[in-house]
Amino acid sequence: MPRVLEPNVTVSRGAHASRDARCLRHSDLVSISSVSPYRKVCPYCEKGALMVQRNNSTGRLLRGDRCVWCGQPVRYIDDSINGEKFEGE
């Protein structure tokens, strides 16, 4: 069952944008929706989402991502997401 997001008023929009990227496993994160295996709850603010970035030219997954709410940069350390390999691998 997807997790219901509750507002986290302690983290303002863009609050983590200048932080260093954190390495994490996409597979360990909580899904936002059963429709998309890619969208996950941001573990740093619990209000935003990690959407999984793709290369605009190739459509391949990128390891780097950023929360759409708090701006926390992350780097995925999984081998793949939903069976898709990352760009360059």
Beta carbons within 8 Å of 20's beta carbon, 6+ residues apart: 73
Return the pLDDT at 6. Answer: 52
Contact 11, 45 (CB under 8 A): yes
Contact 49, 38 (CB under 8 A): no
**pTM, full prediction:** 0.83
Angstrom distance (rounded) from CA 33 to CA 68: 16
* Per-residue pLDDT tens over the stretch 8-63: 557 788 888 899 999 999 999 999 988 889 999 999 998 899 999 999 999 999 99
**Confidence band for 2, pLDDT divided at 50, 70 and 90:** very low
Angstrom distance (rounded) from CA 26 to CA 58: 21
Domains of the chain, by residue range, sit at 12-78
